[in-house]
A and B are shown apart, each in its own frame.
Chain A
Amino acid sequence: MAVRIFEPGDDYVLNHCTKYLSRAGLPPAPGDDARNESFRARIAEAWRFPIIGFMRDADADPDLNLVTFVYKTSPGDPRQVQVLGTFSELYRSISLAPVRFEDQDTGYRALSVGIPKAQVHTYKYVVDGRYVLDPINPQRVILGNGRPWSRFFTDGYLQPLVLEPWEIRLLYRLVEQILPFRGKEAENFLKRYYFGLNREQRKTDMPKAFRLDDSVGEVNAIDKFLAREEAHRLADYQLCLRQIDRALRRQNPVLEPADMPAQDFVELYEKMAKSHGSGDNPIPGWNYDEYGNPSFFLYILRRHAVTAAFAHPKYAGNVGAAGWAYLSERYSDPAAGTLFDWRPAIERPIGTSAYYR
């Protein structure tokens, strides 16, 4: 599998990495895990690496993301830095090139490659022949041989990355208590909407929608937020979904939680909303030592659910812009037409803008 290498230019790299990586001190030497972890933890937005951008050349494939690997070392460091990953042949590492500013070495080493959207990959850097994890990107995964690798995923990835199947099933049921997409009327809308997409969109979006259980893909997007931008919230989900599973079983000992009627979820939702700690409307079955504030988790879930449903489709929720289309159909005027005409502002093929790409 040959990977396509692109050269967006040193300015592109600096404009996308300096704000996050410029800081006092240099990265510790590879191999010193504790110091490397401490260095990485101080980078406020380390999750932005590698940079998942969009293709810039006019003739480039729109189904690719421009993925830019950035390694930081000191200016003038003579060591070779390469990257080895599942996006290319695993026997061939590819060199990162020095990034220059005003003809001076900045210490950044970078490589940009085109990688298809909706993919996940693992990689390592090779620094002077030594294999190291990406010292910046916090995404790690333990592969079958027990070894950790760095990981990234491209836009619109649809498989779960960090949540377990049972967690996802439970999350679907919780999210449907918040968002309006599971009512009869809304379900009918979504079916009409997905069948009504043009041919090109139907080919790409309808399978996603049905794989995502007729929803607008909120749970998948939440999984992606927890894998990258909001990895700090993954523990909240893991701890709370366990408590929720336990509380639901206490409430209804007959059915599996994911199969329980909506009323069971409503009941638990209401209990969680009222419980801010073990001494405050305690929920039977909830272990407050493991997670002390059920209502706080509801707050996070509410923000995530609505963000996932109405953010740009590239975040893998709002599939085919169905969340926007729902608003567009619900709010219309017989004379003026829709009162949320979002399409002309948004790039093709999701929207219809003639100018914005």
Chain B
Amino acid sequence: MATPPRTQPLLEALETHFPPARLLRAPAQLVPYESDGLTAFRARPQAVVLPETREEVIEIVRLCHRFAVPFVARGSGTSLSGGSMPIEEGIVIGLNRLDRILSIDPIDRVAVVEPGVINLDVSEAAAVHGLTYAPDPSSQQVCTIGGNVAFNSGGAHCLKYGMTANHVLGLEAVLADGEVVRLGGNSLEAAGPDLVGFFCGHDGLFGIVLEITLRLIPTPEHQQTVLAAYRSLEAAGHAVATVVGSGLLPAALEIMDRHILRAAEAAVGVRYPPEAAAVLIVELDGEHDAVEADFARLESLMQKTGASSLRVARDADERAQFWKGRKSAFSAVGRLSPQYLVQDGVVPRTRLAETLVAIEALSEHYDIPVANVFHAGDGNLHPLILFGDDDRLAEAEALAAEILALCVRLGGSITGEHGVGMEKRAHLPDMFGPEDLAMMAALRRALDPLEIANRGKMFPGGEAPALSSRGPHPLEIAGIASRE
């Protein structure tokens, strides 16, 4: 494919700054960057540039702005919404080399990190101070903080601790037109609009985060984890309502259905009760005496929920076993179906049971299996649409669209923690009216007048006006075939 005219001068400028080892151009070098966690789609960028300092990132962004070339910032490429999918006319800015934990302050309980730092590494570095970083996406062993901030990632323990935005206190970022902004600081509070909160979950459209001040919490000293098996998914759903309604505040409240259980058993060797149609994991954490008092209540509540079996983790190892199946669910499902779409809709917690019934009916209607694993405590579903092979992608997408429409109809959201990205951009108007969309688009243009930062994500319609004459969106083409 010929290099688009605007990209050539950018690449020439980048060549003067970056050695070939950090400016990837050869097709074989670009292949690993063609796709992210949304594996159904791929696109090959013009180049991948690998900065090592914040000054280099700023310089790259300023050059992209000068030459009007779109860029996609990328960490480990784990986005499940296609948020880090490249764009064919543009470049990828790989941030993995900005992976320094700059400081940890045990008195303010904050860590200052670069965007390429891996989520779990923050907690590991903070452990010596008895502190931990709470947001725990399933991909926490590889996903980066920069990506977590861009998509306001969640995780199983969001129920008690909140999402990424609740744990970001300060940011330094380069806006898409090259201006650098510093927001927030070490305080949990602010005096003025919450710009940090506004910047989290921008889907990469505002620019690139260069430095993040993360809030750390004291590592909970005690946990109690219960694994309850149920003979139906609905019964598990009712158990969730019982726990939530009791006034207890679990750290996590997760459901896996039978598809997930079988896949997890096969993939990671965890054993679940054979009769289980659904398993509920409830975890309490915090101060020892408070957890024990809550746990006594939880046990008596759970006994009334009709569980076919109830297991309490005896030690940290068994607790890790309970979680192993849950955290590996997405990858384990690959065994059931090589191709699948992960959904991320949210419904009001009281509507969970009816939503599950409706999803099952949709699955039957389309004759495509749907596995369910979800953050039940906050109504955040992760239906995995197991569509088998590529020729059923269109049907799978139609099924996904119906699930999202259902979530919106029930008063929920199209995404709880994965972000809109590329995957759900057509559904943003399901949630927001034309004036809301126009306002958000205007805000984006105020920070990125050329719409070069993660172009084609979040907003419906894909292409920016400047490139709309170039034909169909390259990602849609790329979804059909990978081009060499």
Do chains A and B stick together as partners? no
Q: B residues touching A (Cβ–Cβ < 8 Å)?
A: none
